[in-house]
Amino acid sequence: MVGRSNRPSALSATPGLAPQPQVTISPDNASVSAVLPTGESVTVLLHGATVTSWCDAAGNEKLWLSEAAKLDGSKAVRGGIPLVFPVFGTDKSHAAVAGLPQHGFARTSRFEFLGKSTSESLTPSTAGPSSSKNNAADLTVKLDFGLSGAGLDAETRKLWPYDFNLIYSVNLNRESLTTGLVVSNDGDKPFECQVLMHTYLRVQDITKVEIKGLENKSYVDKVDGAKTKTQPDGPVTITGETDRVYTTASAPTAGSGSSSESTSPGAPVTVLEAGKTVFTVAQDNLPNVVVWNPWTDKAKGMSDFEPKDGFRNMLCIEPGSVGGWQTLEPGEAYEGAQTISCS
């Protein structure tokens, strides 16, 4: 065929279709990343389905990740959003989880990447060509990850011999990040579990941080002998080691997940720095919030916490269901989610 100097070039995109989110798997098959056309991004490590990065359109990181965090699967990740399941902390008195490691096995298990999906509030067919810019801005990308009883290693399976399926979804849009899970009992005997999203938020100066939305709520103070206290009618401030489990709503109904059975969402937790709102954390069917900062001495004692003064730049706001036990009968499922919004 004779070449033509003025032949048309290949199309870079389908005409009329707004730019789409880009999803890539790392060359070593260790992580999955998604980037919106407007620049917002998220990275999820398959080890634990741990979110290790969440950036806004300008590339500003919203999560704190230790410089010494182990990303090779050798231990749980220090920072980001580790996933706690099926036990919060340790509980030697509870036979079903007595042998499990701190915070269970989900954060140290390798998840399977199940795929991605996108959604948008406008479509070219209904919005018209002039709406393409707004169309791109309204895109959301969802990444799904899975873990099941059959996928656990033999030793973990021996310690927790239940048939379950856990689907963990990470939803990114321009203004927020939502992480949610669905746990189902696929076996023939009931099991009890706890879940929590151990979110490390990045702040500039912890001494200038105030946390609102927990006023008058009951909490367990793990730094003070696990005493039950009530938060005064004022914001929470961090002035030393802090480890509190707040109850913000009634416990979910067994097998809940539908809108009629879920706990009603309470007021969101708002994080302010120097008087300005920097994060808003909303819970869906998760009745507890853990507020944690290791401060000076505890940070020094953790080998994977670097830099040692990094506690000044992080704050854990951790939605979960950890005040008791969620019992799932065969065939039942439980779901919960958090949505973190930036100012």
The pLDDT tens digits of the residues spanning 121-148 come to 533 333 344 344 444 457 899 999 999 9
The DSSP secondary-structure symbol of 178 reads E
Q: What is the mean pLDDT of residues 104-116?
A: 96
How many helices (H) and strands (E) are present in the chain, helices listed first?
A: 4, 21
pLDDT at 15: 59
Nearest to 321, CA basis, from 232, 257, 231, 242: 257
Rounded to whole angstroms, the Cα distance separating 166 from 146 reads: 6
pLDDT tier for residue 31 given thresholds of 50, 70 and 90: very high
Asked if residue 107 belongs to a known ligand binding site, the reply is: yes
Predicted confidence band of residue 218 (pLDDT cuts 50, 70, 90): very high
Flag whether pLDDT at 230 surpasses 60: yes
Over range 230-237, report the average pLDDT.
Answer: 96
Contact 248, 217 (CB under 8 A): yes
The whole-number pLDDT of residue 254 equals 53
What SS3 state is found at 124? helix
Which whole-number Å values give the CA distances from 175 to 52, 181, 285, 315, 340, in the listed order?
A: 18, 20, 21, 20, 9
Q: What is the pLDDT of residue 126?
A: 36
| pLDDT tens digits, 296-329 | 999 999 999 999 999 999 999 999 999 999 999 9
DSSP class of residue 313?
G
Domains of the chain are 22-342 (2.70.98.10)
| Radius of gyration of the chain, Cα coordinates, nearest whole angstrom | 22
Helix (H, G, I), strand (E, B) or coil at 158: helix
The residue ranking higher by pLDDT, 174 or 15, is 174
Share of the chain above pLDDT 90, in %: 79
pLDDT digits (tens, 9 = 90+) for 1-30: 444 444 444 444 555 667 899 999 999 999
Residues assigned a catalytic role: 198, 318
- Give the mean pLDDT of 40-52: 98
Residue 10, judged by CB atoms within 10 A of its CB (0-12, 13-18, 19+), counts as exposed
Question: Global pTM?
Answer: 0.88
The whole-angstrom separation of Cα 283 and Cα 281 is 7
What integer pLDDT is reported at residue 309 of this predicted model? 98
SS3 content of the chain, % helix, strand, coil (to 5): 10, 40, 45
Q: Phi and psi (nearest 5°) for 129?
A: -60, -35
**pLDDT tier at 55, thresholds 50, 70, 90:** very high
What band does 93 get if pLDDT is binned at 50, 70 and 90? confident
Q: Is the pLDDT of residue 207 over 50?
A: yes
**Which tens digit of pLDDT belongs to each residue from 253-288?**
555 443 334 445 568 999 999 999 999 999 999 999
* pLDDT of 249: 83
Confidence of residue 338 (pLDDT cuts 50, 70, 90): very high
Question: Could you tell me the pLDDT band of residue 214, with boundaries at 50, 70 and 90?
Answer: very high
The two three-digit tokens of residue 102, written as one number: 């701190």
* In the predicted structure, residue 113 carries a pLDDT above the cut 50: yes
Name the token pair of 17.
């279709």
**How many Cβ atoms from other residues are within 10 Å of residue 321's Cβ?**
24
- Burial class for 86, CB neighbours closer than 10 Å (0-12, 13-18, 19+): buried
To the question of whether residue 157 is assigned a binding role by annotation, the answer is: no
